[in-house]
């Protein structure tokens, strides 16, 4: 299973194995990794699963879709590689992915 | 509570109960946490039940809020398939159905709600379902086959989401609603009309201002009889006529209740050692002048969990959010912020249509709610305005050439 590393805003790293077909958000939440709230459970309804994709991986994860971009417009501390992690599907290609958490989700 | 809290018992292992347990640990609580849940599953998400779980897109594991192991890792005790039968407030114990008494220093009631029953003959026939738990949906799915005829009684979110999923699975769908319009309790006539039109275009038929009088069938449901004498043929029936707060334990224990277990803004009940959160509880909502609200939503479950955990840990309370909700039907994502009850003006941004629009609700010049269809910026923008106590001019919202972000940036405080 592809490995994903989540780095909390305080620098604490968590590496987990995520199932292909899950989302990057689900990988974090199901392992109770702090820093991603994902209140709506992945319905793209709340914008509380914001992450910064490591720039080395930004091409592989791609750009936000229209709905996602509209939600990111209202998130705090947005950066060029900001994504909602519920909209990034885990694939074999993403093995080794690194994402960082923003200071807060609300 | 003057003494230190060492043992927390949580009754209810839904999203509110599960979240409260995790928040206690995240907040540094090192004592014992026992979560008692009647369903066999660990805490799971209910919103997908009438959406991706009903459609078969998600399996059961995907519903789970955390992996099963996550609770043991956090040293949280889940007692699943177990029911609490009584609370002894003097002894501070919870009795379970196997006769055990579990002691608590703080007790959190997260007992949720139950589907309102339809009081008509035949409502217990095989083939008549409600949609509240994963097991309910498993039972419905066993009956689903293309061209089966589904009658949905009640045109609320659950009923309409199920109708949309069922159309996608090739069923014939008829919706029976007592009010003259769908979603009548939760939105305006304008937004109701939009959803009615879309469902009709998708092939759903509606009987509005229609009341079910009986459900008929020999060994299995065959039709729903309406009070006007007509009948709707059906192979399966879904009853979605709302929920009632599950507050029997609280009432038996003498806690104050009134359409929900009454709490203060910190989720504390009339007993200072007992908290109530989620669907079963009713608390004052600051954005609406402290109005007592019983909210059936993910937002309320999570916020209640945060508030109760903070109160027990004597930590600073979380930042509060304006109530929010969502509903997925076909390719429409309806996102709702705020509470629309009591509005006196509706301002539309965009024309109702597949490209999306938003209905803003005002009481005087105060923005109180938005229904946004495929318009996430309008949803999040309005939510921020409500939380900040700001408002905007009606004309400004109607001008689609101005981006929502700019409108929010130029908002003014309420006078």
Residue A105 lies in a domain: no
CB-based contact, B335 to chain A, within 8 Å: yes
Give yes or no: residues B220 and B149 share one domain.
yes
SS3 B159: helix
Q: Is A21 on the interface with B (CB under 8 A)?
A: no
Please report, for the domain that includes residue B152, its CATH number: 3.50.50.60
Instruction: With residue B28 as reference, give the H or E element that holds it.
Output: none
pLDDT over threshold 90, residue B354: no
pLDDT in tens, B229-246: 999 999 999 999 999 999
Tell me if B318 is assigned to some domain: no
| Contact between A43 and B328 using a beta-carbon 8 Å cutoff | yes
A25 burial level (CB within 10 Å; 0-12, 13-18, 19+) = buried
Point out the domain boundary residue: B313, B344, B359. Answer: B313
How far A26 CA lies from chain B's nearest CA (Å)? 9
- Residue A106 in domain: no
B234 in the same domain as B164: yes
B1 pLDDT band, cuts 50/70/90, is: very low
Cα–Cα dist B249/B111, whole Å: 9
Q: Using a CB-CB distance cutoff of 8 angstroms, which residues of chain B are in contact with residue A67?
A: 333, 374, 376
The reply to whether B321 falls in a domain is: no
Judge if ipTM > 0.95: no
The count of other CB atoms within 10 Å of the CB of residue A94 is: 19
Domain that holds residue B279: 7-114+243-313
Of A31, A32, A70, the CB nearest to B376: A70
CATH (domain of A30)? 3.10.20.30
For all residues of chain B together, what is the average pLDDT? 96
Q: Are residues B301 and B349 in the same domain?
A: no
The verdict on residue A88 lying in a domain is yes
**Is B404 inside a domain boundary?**
yes
A:B CB pairs within 8 Å: 67
Q: Are residues B216 and B257 in the same domain?
A: no
Same domain as B145, residue B80: no
Residue B388 contacts A where some CB pair is shorter than 8 Å: no
- Nearest Cα of chain A lies from the Cα of B346 at a distance, in angstroms, of 23
* pLDDT, tens only, B7-63: 999 999 999 999 999 999 999 999 999 999 999 999 999 999 999 999 999 999 999
Which chain B positions have a beta carbon within 8 Å of A46's beta carbon?
324, 326
Average pLDDT over residues A15-23: 93
- Give dist(CA B300, CA B321) in Å, integer: 9
User: Which DSSP state fits B255?
Assistant: -
Query: B160-197 pLDDT, tens per residue?
Result: 999 999 999 999 999 999 999 999 999 999 999 999 99
- Closest Cα in chain A to B66: A30
Nearest to B21 by CA among B60, B62, B72: B72
B140 and B53 within one domain: no
* Helix segments in B55-155, DSSP class H: 60-63, 68-73, 134-141
pLDDT value at B2 more than 80: no
Q: What is the tally of structural domains in chain A?
A: 1
- State which of B218, B239, B260 marks the end of a domain: B239
In the predicted model, what is the mean pLDDT of residues B400-411?
94
CA–CA separation, B136 vs B131, rounded Å? 5
Rounded to 5 degrees, φ, ψ at B328 are -110, 125
Residue of A30, A43, A106 lying closest to B66 (CB–CB):
A30
> pLDDT per residue over A82-91, tens digit each?
999 999 999 9
Which residues form the domain of A59? 3-100
Of the listed ranges A9-13, A32-36, A53-57, B150-154, the least confidently predicted one is A32-36
Instruction: Tell me which chain A residues have a C-beta less than 8 angstroms from the C-beta of B70.
Output: 30-32
Q: Which are the contacts of B92, defined by CB distance < 8 A and separation ≥ 6?
A: B103, B104, B105, B107, B273
Among B370, B186, B58, B377, smallest CA distance to A42 is for B58
Distance from the A81 Cα atom to the nearest Cα atom in chain B, whole angstroms: 19
What residues of A are in contact with residue B328 (Cβ under 8 Å)? 43
CA distances from B17 to B56, B303, B387 (A): 26, 11, 25
Q: Is B296 on the interface with A (CB under 8 A)?
A: no
b/e sequence B230-242, b meaning 16+ C-beta within 10 Å: eebebbbbbbbbe
Could you say which residues from 70 to 99 on chain A have a Cβ atom under 8 Å away from some Cβ of chain B?
A: 70-71, 73-74
Q: Confirm if B14 and B49 have CB atoms less than 8 A apart.
A: no
Q: What is the DSSP letter of B378?
A: H
Domain count, chain B: 3
pLDDT of residue B3: 65
Which stretches of B112-255 are assigned E, i.e. beta strand?
113-115, 128-129, 149-153, 172-176, 205-207, 212-216, 223-226, 231-233, 236-239, 243-245
| Selection from A15-24, A68-77, B277-286 with the highest mean pLDDT | B277-286
Query: Where residue B373 sits, what CATH number does that domain have?
Result: 3.30.390.30
Query: Residues of chain B with pLDDT > 70: what percent?
Result: 99
């Amino acid at each position: 299973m592809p490995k994903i590393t989540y780095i909390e805003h305080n620098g604490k790293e968590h590496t987990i194995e995520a199932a292909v077909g899950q989302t990057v958000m689900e990988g974090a939440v199901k392992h109770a990794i702090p820093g991603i709230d994902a209140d709506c459970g992945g319905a793209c309804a709340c914008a509380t699963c914001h992450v910064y994709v490591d720039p080395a991986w930004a091409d592989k994860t791609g750009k936000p879709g229209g709905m996602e971009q509209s939600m990111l417009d209202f998130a705090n501390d947005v950066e060029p590689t900001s994504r909602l992690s519920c909209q990034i599907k885990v694939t074999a290609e993403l093995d080794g992915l690194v994402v960082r958490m923003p200071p807060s989700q609300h | 509570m003057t003494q230190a809290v060492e043992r927390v018992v949580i009754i209810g292992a839904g999203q509110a109960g599960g979240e409260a347990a995790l928040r206690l640990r995240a907040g540094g609580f090192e004592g014992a946490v026992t979560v008692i849940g009647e369903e066999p599953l660990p805490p799971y998400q209910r919103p997908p039940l009438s959406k991706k779980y009903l459609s078969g897109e998600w399996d059961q594991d995907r519903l789970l809020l955390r992996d099963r192991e996550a609770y043991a890792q956090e040293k949280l005790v889940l007692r699943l398939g177990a029911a609490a039968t009584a609370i002894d407030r003097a002894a501070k114990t919870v009795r379970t159905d196997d006769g055990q008494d579990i002691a608590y220093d703080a007790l959190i009631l997260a007992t949720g709600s139950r589907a309102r029953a339809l009081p008509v003959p035949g409502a217990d026939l095989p083939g008549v379902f409600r949609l509240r738990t994963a097991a309910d949906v498993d039972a419905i799915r066993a009956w689903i086959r293309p061209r089966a005829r589904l009658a949905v009684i009640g045109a609320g979110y659950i009923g309409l989401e199920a109708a949309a999923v069922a159309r996608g699975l090739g069923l014939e769908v008829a919706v029976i609603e007592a009010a003259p319009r769908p979603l009548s309790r939760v939105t305006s006539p304008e937004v109701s009309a939009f959803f009615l039109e879309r469902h009709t275009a998708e092939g759903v038929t509606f009987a509005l201002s229609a009341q079910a009088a009986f459900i008929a069938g020999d060994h299995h449901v065959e039709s729903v009889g309406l009070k006007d004498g007509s009948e709707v043929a059906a192979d399966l029936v879904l009853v979605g006529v709302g929920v009632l707060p599950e507050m029997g334990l609280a009432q038996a224990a003498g806690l104050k209740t009134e359409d929900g277990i009454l709490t203060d803004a910190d989720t504390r009940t009339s007993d200072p050692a007992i908290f109530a959160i989620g669907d079963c509880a009713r608390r004052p909502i600051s954005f609406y002048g402290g109005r007592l609200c019983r909210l059936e939503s993910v937002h309320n479950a999570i916020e209640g969990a945060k508030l109760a955990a903070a109160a027990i840990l004597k930590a600073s309370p979380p930042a509060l959010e304006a109530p929010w909700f969502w509903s997925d039907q076909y390719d429409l994502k309806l996102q709702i912020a705020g509470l629309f009850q009591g509005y006196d003006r509706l301002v539309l941004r965009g024309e109702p249509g597949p490209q999306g629009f938003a209905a803003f609700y005002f009481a005087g010049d105060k923005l109180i709610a938005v229904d946004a269809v495929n318009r996430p910026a309008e949803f999040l923008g309005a939510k921020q305005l409500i939380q900040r106590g700001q408002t905007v001019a009606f004309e400004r919202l109607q001008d689609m050439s101005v981006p929502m972000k700019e409108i929010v940036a130029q908002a003014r405080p309420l006078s």
